[in-house]
């Protein structure tokens, strides 16, 4: 149930985001979800792409520092409170969220959210118990 995410170190320098994305575009890598965490000096670009291993290689060949990180993707009802409901389970179980961001595409009528917590295995089993819809890699590719 874990999904591979690419994390890329970016200096806050003109053109670096463009360079990373255009390197991927040239090789036909499609981006399914994206977020940037930034500070005043650097940022971390996080991507869910169609072929993470190949994307990592492409970026490394272009002198980027890249890491593959495990995250999970959940589908929640696209209505007020849909995400909050899922997060409440984590809150009750005392699991801290490290970061969260959303897919642009929907899964049927549901919104898809990428999540990383301090304990992914525990999160997965908890959410499964609570019948939250966790997406497999194939589900993500099919979005």
Partner 1 sequence: MYWNKEYECMSEEKLRELQLQRLQTTVKRAYEKIPYYRNKFNEAGITPEDIKNLEDLKKIPYTSKADLREVYPFGMFASPIEDIVEIHMSSGTTGKPVVAGYTLNDIEVWAEVMARCLTMAGATKKDIVQVAYGYGLFTGGFGVHYGARKIGCMIVPASAGNTRRQIEIMRDFGTTILTCTPSYALYMAEVAQEMGIEPSNLKLKSGCFGAEMWTEAMRVEIEKRFGLNAYNIYGLTEIIGPGVAHECHEKKGLHVFEDHFIAEIIDPETGDSLPDGKRGELVLTTLTREGMPMLRFRTRDITSIIKEKCLCGRTFSRIERIRGRTDDMIKVRGVMLFPYQIEKAILEVQGVEPHYQIVITRPQYLDEIEVMVEMSKETFSDEIKHIENLKKKLERRIEEIVGIRVKVSLVEPKSLPRSEGKAKRIIDKRSLKE
Of the residues 27, 98, 105, 121, which one makes contact with partner 1 according to CB under 8 A: 98
Q: How far is Cα 108 from Cα 121, in angstroms, rounded to an integer?
A: 26
| Nearest residue (CB) to partner 1, 69 versus 133 | 69
| Nearest residue (CB) to partner 1, 57 versus 92 | 57
Residue 123 is encoded by which pair of tokens? 């999160």
Using CB under 8 A as the binding rule, whether residue 109 contacts partner 1 is answered as no
Using CB under 8 A, which residues numbered 15 to 34 contact partner 1?
16
Of the residues 26, 67, 79, 106, which one makes contact with partner 1 according to CB under 8 A: 67
Using CB under 8 A as the binding rule, whether residue 131 contacts partner 1 is answered as no
- Determine which helix (DSSP H) or strand (DSSP E) holds 121, and give its type and residue range: helix 120-129
Q: Tell me the window of 36-44, 50-58, 80-88, 121-129 that interacts with partner 1 (CB under 8 A).
A: 36-44
Using CB under 8 A as the binding rule, whether residue 63 contacts partner 1 is answered as yes
Place of tokens 């399914």: 32
Of the residues 25, 26, 57, 65, which one makes contact with partner 1 according to CB under 8 A: 65
Residue 14 is encoded by which pair of tokens? 């003109």
Neighbours of 65 (CB within 10 A): 11
Residue spans of beta strands (DSSP E) within the chain: 3-11, 31-38, 42-49, 66-77, 97-107, 110-117, 133-134
Please say whether the beta carbons of 82 and 111 come within 8 A: yes
> Where on the chain is the footprint of partner 1 (CB under 8 A)?
5, 7, 9-11, 13, 16, 37, 39, 41-42, 44, 46, 63-67, 69, 98-99, 116
């Amino acid at each position: 149930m874990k999904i591979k995410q690419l994390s890329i170190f970016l200096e806050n320098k003109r053109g670096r985001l463009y360079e990373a994305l255009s390197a991927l575009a040239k090789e036909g890598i499609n981006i399914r979800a994206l977020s940037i965490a930034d500070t005043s000096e650097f940022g971390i670009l996080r991507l869910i792409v169609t072929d993470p291993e190949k994307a990592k290689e492409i970026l490394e060949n272009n002198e980027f520092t890249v890491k593959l990180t495990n995250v999970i993707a959940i589908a929640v009802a696209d209505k007020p409170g849909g995400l909050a409901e899922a997060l409440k389970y984590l809150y009750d179980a005392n699991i801290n969220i490290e970061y969260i961001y959303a897919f642009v595409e929907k899964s049927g009528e549901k919104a898809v959210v990428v999540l990383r917590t301090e304990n992914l295995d525990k999160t997965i089993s908890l959410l499964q118990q609570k019948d939250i819809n966790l997406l497999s890699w194939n589900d993500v590719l099919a979005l």
